[in-house]
Structures are given as C-alpha cells and as structure tokens.
Structure 1
Amino acid sequence: MNVLGIIASGVAALFITVALAKVARRAALRPHAPDEPGGRAPRAEALRAAGGATVVLGVGAAAGGALWLGAADDAASSVAGLLAGAGIAAALGLVHDVKPFRAAFRLPVQTAAAILVVCLAGLSPAAGALAVLWIVLVTNAFALLDHVDGLLTTVGLVTAAGLLACAALGEDSALALLPTALVAGLAGFLLHNWHPARLRLGASGAQFIGFTLAASGALIQAAAPPGRTAWAALPVLATVALADTALVLISRRRAARSPLRDTDDHIAHRLRRVRVTVPGTSVLLALWAAVPVATGTLVYADLLHPAFLLLPLAGTVAAVFALLRIPAYAPPRTTRPRTTRPRTAARRTTASTTGAAIPSAAFAPGATGPAPGKGTASASARTAARHPTVPPPPTGRSAAAVAAERS
C-alpha cells in the first residue's frame, strides 16, 4: 500500500472538486433564457441540482488515477469494484435527475452494483449476501439525507472520516483510498453546498456518496482482523442515516401514509419546525453523527469495550421517539357533511308547512286568498327577522300585496 499515493489522491480530489464546483457555480449563476416563452424557471436550477457531478468526477478521477498508478496494489480488485459500483450508482442518480423514476427501477440497479462489488472483493456467499443487503439499505438511507443544504455533505464527511480511520487501522489499509478521496471531495464541495447552497448534490451525488460509504464499510468489515469487533463497530457509523430512515417509516406507518411518498417528515424537517436554523440543523446532525462515529472507531481500535456502543444507540433511540412527538403532517380538513333530501320530500315538507290549510279552490283563477278569520299555518309562520313567511303568489300579484292583504 502506497501511503503517499493515497494522500496524493486526497489532495487531487480536493483541488479537482473545488475547480469543477467553481465552474459549475459560474454556469449556474450565469443568466439564462427561460425554458419556455411563458416564463418558467431558468435552466440554472438544473445546473445547481447537478452539482453532485463535481463530487463524482473529482473523487472518481483522483481515486482512479491513484489506482492506476499502483497506490492500492494489494487490494486493487476490491478498490476497482468499489469504484465501479459507485460509478453505476452515480449514473443511476444522474438519469433520475434528468427524468425521475420510481424506486422499483432503482433497487435492481443498486443490487447489481452491490453484487459487482462483492464479487470483485471475493467474499463468501453468506458474507456477500449480507453485504449486498447492507449496501442497498445504507445507500438509500444516506441518499434520503439530501433534503437540507449541507446536511448530507457534513454527515457524509464525518462518516467517511471514521471509515478512513478504521481502514488505516485494518490489515487491508488500501481500502482507505476511496474514503480519503471522499473526505477531500466533500470538504471542497461543502464550500458551495453550505446554506444558502449555490450547488446541490442531486440524486447523482447523493447516490454516489451513499454507495461509497456503504460499500466501503462492508469491505472494511470483511477485511478486518479477526480480533477486532468490526461486526459491531462499523454499522454504528451509519447511525444518523438509519435513524432518519426509521423515523420516516414509523411516522408514515402511524399516519397511514405510503412509505415511498417523500414528504417533509425527516429529522431536519422536524428540527426546522422547532425553529432550528438550516445551518444549525446541519451542525447538529453532524455532531450527532460524530458521537457514534468516534465511539465505533475507538471500539474498532480496541481502545473501548464494545459495551460503550450501547450509549450512542440508546441516545439515538431516545432522540427518534422525541422527534416523533413533533407534528410532521398537516391535520386533515374536517368538512361538515351535507345532508341532501330528495326533491319530492322537500316539496312535501314545504307544502305541509306553508299551504297545508289552503284549499285547492284558492289557487283557481280569480281567487283572492283564504277567507278572513281562517288563517293558515303559513300566515302565522315567522322567520328569524320576525317577518311573515309568504309563499309565492300563484295569481301573478306581488308578494307585498299578498302580505298586505293577510295582515
């Protein structure tokens, strides 16, 4: 393993990402004509959403160049498979940015990319199956964090730093190549992704970051020395992403909503409802991620007992239950039920209350109304304004004349 080559790949990833992000930012801020003469949003918004391509190109170019120069000779196949799988996930996200599609089409491609990583790493069938499930789950969990400026970038940066430390402590430290390049690339992109974000990761950058973190953790765990508790330490590094996914699934299950329908019910959305600012949300979740990452790294290095992992896990469970108490959905509208009666019944009711005592002869031509002294129910009926209720006159006379006669 070439330590200087890995360090050089990190420096290259930093400069390439910063340079590409600067170019993308200038293109996004340049005035564009509207997409349609009607005055729709300019294409600059699409350029801002494609900012994650700068992370993909910067990290991929730096890691690929270091791999080609022999910086990871002892684990070249594993690193190459990891880089290829992350590239497939990034391409999938880029297609989703151009034309969104459902998760049913995304999961098979992610599974195929995870199988490619597992096969090139030479894992056993049992370990490979678990690794594929882990990669697909954690990839989507991290991708769901991309809903607030700088959130996924900061949490991914903290998680990649933990993976870098674990890879450097393991036997196959060449697996630190991609986490090193990812740490440097995310640090450079954070300058443009911090609130207010000039560039956003989009589905391409989010899928790339999530897949790289998930696959790196699976391969580092598979290559860990037998004496280390990697099976318990490394999964803790994805605590925040998994907690956000669990919060969303539980909340939508309680509200009888579809689990695949994306709404404002994530951790960051709930923190915003209790008046936490957007930068404060990113910092708070980054600190939350730093606690299990530091604990897991120290446990992996045999500096702490594995029982200490229960502390961040218990705190995360308590935080999820506390966040569930923050309302995330608008209350349903309560509409007063409209009671409709058949027209025939309404006519019968009107006839019985207004003219039941009026003989049929009164409606003959030339009739002047009921005889004096024989008032009907309609003559004594009163409205809320204390005026007599007068039915429509059948003889063509005005309602005022009929009321004057009856008074």
Structure 2
Amino acid sequence: MKKKLKILIANRGEIAVRIIRAAKILGMQTVAVYSEADKNSLHVAMADEAVEIGAASAGDSYLNIRAILAAAEISHADAIHPGYGFLSENAHFARLVEEVGLIFIGPTSQTIEEMGDKEQARQLMASAGVPIVPGSADFFESAEIGLREAERIGYPVMLKSVAGGGGKGMRLVSQAADFQQLFELAQSEIKNAVGDGRMYLEKLIIHPRHIEVQVLGDGQGKAIALGERDCTIQRHHQKVIEEAPSTKIDPETRQEMLTVAVHAAEQQQYRSAGTYEFLYQGPGQFYFMEMNTRIQVEHAISEEITGVDLVGAQLTQAAGGGLPEVARDNQGRVAIEARVVAQTAGKINFLHLPGGLGIRVETAIYPGYVVPPNYDAMILKIIATGPNRVTALQRLREAIGETVITGLKTNLDLLIQILNHPDFTTNENATDIDWLDSILDAEEEK
C-alpha cells in the first residue's frame, strides 16, 4: 500500500460498518454519509466524520449523486467506496467520481456499463469463452419481438430486464399464451424501478444451482479467484442462505468455473472485487448469468475460507497496492451465511447476538435502534465456519437459536426451518433455486 486514503462510504447499514472497520485496520480515515432517517445509525457513530446528505428516501439521499460528491468535496475525501446496492453499479456515478479526480473503489465506469447491460455482458462473456445460456439475439422493447424470440428459443424461457437485478423485471414464461401479459408486468415493474424497459430472453435451465465465483483483478490484466459460493437457497430470487465452497458441484466443474472466471476477468482487465454468477445443472454443465461489479452481501464466507479480507484488499488496491496472497491453511473449511431480514420496521427493544467458535456477525443494529422502512430489509448476517459442512451447519443452527431480536418481526424462524430441513442438510442435490419457494408455497396452500 503506497498511501493512506480518506474514504467516503456512499452507503449505510452493515456494509458501511464493514468498510469502516476495514479502513480503520489499515489506518485510513473514513467519512460516513447519512439520511435524516439514519442520523442515529452505527456507521455514523463509527466514522471519523459524517455528513448528512438528504431526506429519508433513497432518492433524496443515498441515490443523490450531487449530494454525495458535495460531501466528498467538503470532507476532502480521496476515494469513494459505494458498498453494494444504491449507486454501486451505476456507471454514471463511477464516471463522475473519476472525472472530479477521486478514486472509485471498484471497477472502471466502462466495465460497470458493459457488465450492467445484460445482453452486452453475455456477448463479452461468450467472446471470452465463458458458456452462456441460449437466449435472444438482442434486447427488445416490444412483446411481438419477444414472442418471436421465445418461439425460436423454445419454452420455457426466462424473461429478464437488461437493467434488472434482485429479481426485478423477471418472469418465467411457460407458454406463448402467457407471454403478452407477463411481458407487460415485467417491463412495467423495471420501468418503474429504473426507467429502462429493454428486455431479453434466456432458455430456462431446469433445476439449476446458483454458483458464483469471487474474483479480484488488478486492472492491468491479472486476476485471482477466491473460490466459489453456492447461493441456491433463495426466496423469490432473493438469496437467503449462502455457503462456500459448494459441496454440491463436482471438482472438475469447480476448477473449470474458476478458470473461466479468472480468464474473463483478465480479458476485461477487471479492477477490484467482482463476482461471476453461473447456473449449474450438473457435471460440465454451467452457464453464465451475470456479473456483479461490486462487493457482494455474501463476501464474508469467501473471506472465511480463503483468509483474504476482500474489503481490505479493495482499499489496499485503491491506495496503490497489489493483489493479496490467498491463504493456504484454510483449505477444507466450510462457511455458511444466513441473512436475517426485518419483516416489519420499528424499534429494537432487546437484542442478543450470538458468539462462540467459528461465529461471525455482520450488522449495524443495536438495542434501541429504529429500523427504518425506507431501505433494504436485511439487518444482520450470521456466518458460521467449520472444518466441514456438518460442523458449520450445527454452529449456524446454534447461533441463530441464540439470536434474540424483539420489537419487530424477523425471518429467524424460517432460517431455522431451512437449516433443519432434510433436503438442505443432506449432501445430495435435493435443492435447486426454486426449492425454497416450492416448499413454502406448498405450506401456504395447506
């Protein structure tokens, strides 16, 4: 690391706290930004400085580019870390950060733009030799064109938004008769969210697992992979439980995934942390879905199995340092993460967080904290690590069972239900990306 930077964190919640901790370890100063709703937040208290940037709504604060750049100017920040969500994959924001002479802690604005356009990303990955799901030749904005493409590809197909993410603008279409209605619903949803109505199609891969590869690139043609994560357990396309490494894929396919991800990152001259997401259908059968050009929510489990501080590596690289060495003494370890979600907003009256061997907690909540209704509902991540999957699972069960949050409703009971379900606990391929939805929907119908 060549110099100590002053980092402005253009985010909130647990990821802002995580970045502040990494910066403090490296001796870097931090600047928090916050909305009116977050004036009593933990990241504000932990940072060296804090600047209020707007009203409670994200559009007036954490998505307010002008306010964030003004905060960077008045605090004399050297760099901006966007975290995840909000502006983290906004190419326009990254470009403006670069143009005002600040360091954007992430990939270049050009890379964000290329990988944020799903169809362009598919074409780039195909040219780099990465397997891609059969799909439409180009994006489209009319149902008529989409219908023709669906007939060519063959049903069932996944209708997706070019600018989408987190399940927005996505629908499964099983037959031609449903296409028009589902197209209008998906396009309206994504237009309301981001104002971009471009859509594309992918052939539906039956009963896949969701596997992603974590990479770090130096921006000059060298990259490393920090293993893979299995993010198959999802509810309505939102990840619920993730683990690393995946115990459900074969070693040969794992190595091939890691190899193609590193090759693609080096071809792109990728800079900072990024994730290649794949659908895995069986030995030798995996297909590129998308690339996330940011740090992921689930980055902690990769850190646990590799010994690499991913956020610290981002900050070190931004300060002029190189890529980290991957620890060898953690080989064979398994890390599993559960996302705790607030299902209602409100004040946390009592809070007890777990601890013990192999337990890591990432959060920004505390007793008396008021969870606002304005932002993402995830309030806590519990990570359990062990020498094998059985031990990691048992530690995670105990940790979740020990967690107490009163004053609002959470998904803690659901997490215990998943962790005790025989489909999940066995080492067989009983789960896929639709598994959780199917068992919960079946229960609701009873």
Normalised TM-score (structure 2): 0.27
Larger radius of gyration between Structure 1 and Structure 2: 1
Relative contact order, higher structure (CA 8 A, sep 6+): 1
Normalised TM-score (structure 1): 0.28
Report which of the two has the higher share of strand.
2
Report which of the two has the higher share of helix.
1
